[in-house]
């Protein structure tokens, strides 16, 4: 279970605080769309939840434990093993194969190369991308790249998936495929427990498809 309690964040001392003491419990097995005007902190909230930024006040809770104030080693381990990220532009290394991009988080989390490769190929096959495993990102479409990015986010079987405008550069058909994949991921977490999926977005199509909406 992922939640925030009295959460506020500012990028520097004296700057405007974001979130205003936000308290919210995110539902496992569901997609939550995080919405709001530009500058309200949609992406920043994902970075705080993903332990890339530390809140000025309040806490990020995972299974009831405050992980936002944990030591760096603990935060890094949680981030590596329990959180998957999907970025708007997919953020794939153009010099590496699709498979190598997918398996990188698993290696960082402690999997062996053989384990990571096996899991990576399974995910790519599930997404209909098995034949693209040895291609470079420049040789696949934008929609395929976003599904590769989702495979990369899932390779460690995380509890939480954080997606920052994952459909922002896609046409409606590809956006629908990515949303369908995120919805399937939400309902198929570790040991049958649904994953918590958050999507920062301003896309009405995504908002309509979400199970819940958090407006900042």
Q: Is this model's pTM higher than 0.75 or not?
A: yes
In this prediction, residue 177 carries a pLDDT of 84
- What total number of domains does the chain contain? 1
Q: Determine the pLDDT at residue 193.
A: 62
**pLDDT per residue over 179-215, tens digit each?**
888 888 888 655 456 889 999 999 999 999 899 999 9
Residue 24 pLDDT: 96
Write out the residue range of the structural domain in which residue 196 sits.
2-215
- C-alpha distances in Å from residue 148, one per residue of 52, 70, 87, 127: 22, 31, 11, 8
Q: What is the pLDDT of residue 162?
A: 96
pLDDT beneath 70, residues of the chain: 188-193
pLDDT at residue 192, rounded to an integer = 53
> Which CATH number characterizes residue 72's domain?
3.40.50.300
Q: Chain-centre distance of CA 35, in angstroms?
A: 15
Q: What's residue 215's pLDDT?
A: 95
């Amino acid at each position: 279970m992922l939640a925030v309690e009295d959460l506020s964040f500012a990028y520097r001392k004296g700057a405007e605080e974001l979130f205003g003491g936000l308290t919210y419990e995110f539902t496992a097995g569901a997609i939550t769309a995080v919405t709001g005007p530009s500058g309200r902190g949609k992406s920043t909230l994902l970075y705080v939840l993903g332990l890339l930024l530390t809140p000025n006040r309040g806490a990020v809770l995972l299974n009831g434990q405050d992980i936002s104030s944990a030591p760096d080693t603990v935060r890094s381990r949680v981030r590596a093993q329990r959180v998957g990220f999907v970025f708007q532009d997919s953020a794939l290394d153009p010099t590496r194969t699709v498979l190598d991009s997918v398996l990188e988080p698993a290696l960082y989390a402690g999997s062996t190369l053989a384990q990571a490769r096996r899991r990576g190929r399974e995910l790519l096959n599930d997404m209909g991308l098995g034949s693209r495993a040895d291609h470079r990102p420049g040789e696949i479409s934008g929609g395929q790249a976003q599904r590769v990015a989702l495979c990369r986010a899932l390779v460690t079987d995380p509890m939480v998936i954080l997606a920052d405008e994952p459909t922002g550069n896609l046409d409606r058909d590809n956006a629908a495929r990515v949303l369908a994949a995120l919805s399937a991921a939400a309902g198929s977490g570790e040991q049958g427990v649904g994953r918590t999926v958050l999507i920062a977005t301003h896309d009405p199509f995504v908002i309509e498809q979400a199970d819940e909406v958090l407006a900042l």
